[in-house]
Amino acid sequence: MENTNQAKKKAFLTGITGQDGSYLTDFLLAKNYEVHGLVRHSSVFNRQRLEHIYQATRRSAQSFLEYGTDIEQKSNLILHYGDLSDGSSLARLIAKIQPDEIYNLGAQSHVQISFDIPEYTGEITGLGTVRLLEAIRETKIKTKFYQASSSEMFGNAEETPQKETTAFRPRSPYGCAKVYAYHTAVNYREAYGLFICNGILFNHESPRRGENFVTRKIAKGVAEIVAGKRDHIYLGNLEAKRDWGYAPEYVEAMWLMMQQEQGDDYVIATGETHSVGEFTEEIFSLAGIDNWEKYIKKNPIYYRPTEINALIGDATKAKNKLGWEPKIRFKELARIMLDAELKKLGIIVIRN
Ligand code: NAP
Ligand code: GDD
């Protein structure tokens, strides 16, 4: 049980509107944190993943939609406009909020898209981290910093499974930007004695995953086939293998890293790997559809100029030092994702 007499801890999250940001917000609010989030302006509403929190606290829809900041400070979730490309806004916010913990989850996070916008990806996913670290250094605020590092950094990995000591051989502009951010984070830890953690997270998925990542795309596509709304799913490389975990469990690992005595780097993974084809087959099978291959059309636009053929992580250090272990495995993850999509389409799922 939480001690409610203690002063509320404050966390500042970039990427709060994303998959991980929204789950971490749920997690931290349940731990009685005051959560501050960076949101960027967009012409369409980009806060759907946080809407349940606003509805639960019955805040004024007006301030949420128009500005998003909790003007009346009635809830523990406060949003601020800013951007990882805008260093002055980051420094101003950090000075104003004085957070105990900063989680840098914001990024141009799509690997294939990073080949189309490499410069922007470097700007946000790489340099965005430097801007935040510089803001901490200049404001001299005593805070802890989490960097969302990625298994994509291992790229064409030289060993299997990949662990904290495995060399990075990135295969995409996104992977290169994350390697830059990782090394910068380590350098600021060593040079300035800051508390900094790199969470090297392998793929993690959920019903809140962006629709253009492969697991969500497949789960949504199959649910739509069941509903008679489409006939096919267009995919790229079905042979690539990934170590897929469940996002809500992975945000807990982030928090655990930040509660240690010292900042350190940790791999977070399930230790299991499956191909995109196996995931597709599993989802079709859960939906009761045989001959899954006849519903798949290959489209070359989804192939990447360079691909990572296989990733599998070794999270032994996280188990030993953080007591963290994944519970949701491949088959259950697939079921959670398919059932969420079927539910959205009004299809009642009864499973034994
Ligand atoms: P996501 O759903 O794509 O969310 C990315 C977040 O970054 C969104 O909130 C997005 O805002 C924000 N963002 C993008 N550009 C920005 C900018 N210029 N300024 C400020 N914010 C910006 O990603 P995720 O899956 O939650 O992943 C969270 C972090 O972990 C990312 O850094 C990702 O690269 C990393 N990671 C993810 C995985 C994974 O499997 N999910 C694995 C390893 C590492 P909008 O909502 O406005 O677009
Ligand atoms: N997105 C997508 N769309 N991927 C496809 C498709 C498709 O239609 N067809 C096949 N794939 C293959 C990709 O080529 C890749 O090998 C695999 O499916 C997974 O693709 P994504 O779901 O886009 O994830 P990712 O592994 O490239 O990147 C995700 O995980 C990284 C951690 O390893 C992202 O969340 C990154 O931000 C994260 O760092």
Q: Which ligand is nearest to the CA of 297?
A: 2
CATH number of domain containing 279: 3.90.25.10
Q: Are residues 109 and 58 in the same domain?
A: yes
Q: Are residues 264 and 278 in the same domain?
A: no
Q: Are residues 175 and 223 in the same domain?
A: no
Whether 352 is in a domain gets the answer no
Predicted confidence (pLDDT) per residue in 129-139, tens digit: 999 999 999 99
pLDDT given at position 72:
44
* CA R_g for the chain: 20
Decide: 109 in ligand 1 pocket, CB within 6 A. yes
Report the b/e string of 191-223 with b at 16+ CB within 10 A.
eeebbbbbbbbbbbbbbbbeeebbbbbbbbbbb
Q: Are residues 189 and 280 in the same domain?
A: no
Q: Are residues 55 and 14 in the same domain?
A: yes
Q: Are residues 306 and 219 in the same domain?
A: yes
- Cα–chain center distance at 200: 11
Whether 322 is in a domain gets the answer no
Q: Whose CA is nearest to atom 32 of ligand 2?
A: 203
Question: How many Å lie between the centroid of ligand 1 and the Cα of residue 231?
Answer: 31
pLDDT given at position 351:
80
State which amino acid sits at residue 296: I
Q: Are residues 14 and 126 in the same domain?
A: yes
* Closest-CA residue to 249 (of 193, 141, 332): 332
Task: Give the catalytic positions in this structure.
Answer: 150, 152, 174
Q: Are residues 98 and 224 in the same domain?
A: no
Neighbours of 294 (CB within 10 A): 10
Q: For residue 251, what are the domain limits?
A: 10-206+246-268
- Strand positions, DSSP E, the chain: 10-14, 34-39, 77-81, 101-104, 144-150, 195-201, 204-205, 233-235, 241-242, 245-246, 265-268, 274-275, 296-298
pLDDT given at position 2:
47
Q: Are residues 259 and 291 in the same domain?
A: no
Decide: 29 in ligand 1 pocket, CB within 6 A. no
Predicted confidence (pLDDT) per residue in 320-345, tens digit: 999 999 999 999 999 999 999 999 99
Neighbours of 80 (CB within 10 A): 20
Whether 351 is in a domain gets the answer no
Question: How many Å lie between the centroid of ligand 1 and the Cα of residue 289?
Answer: 33
CATH number of domain containing 75: 3.40.50.720
Predicted confidence (pLDDT) per residue in 76-124, tens digit: 888 899 999 999 999 999 999 999 999 999 999 999 999 999 999 999 9
Question: Is residue 60 scored above 70 in pLDDT?
Answer: no
State which amino acid sits at residue 107: A
pLDDT given at position 7:
82
Q: Are residues 263 and 281 in the same domain?
A: no
Maximum alpha-carbon separation in the chain: 60
Decide: 13 in ligand 2 pocket, CB within 6 A. no
Predicted confidence (pLDDT) per residue in 183-210, tens digit: 999 999 999 999 999 999 999 999 999 9
Whether 319 is in a domain gets the answer no
Whether 134 is in a domain gets the answer yes
Q: Model pTM?
A: 0.96
Q: Are residues 305 and 282 in the same domain?
A: yes
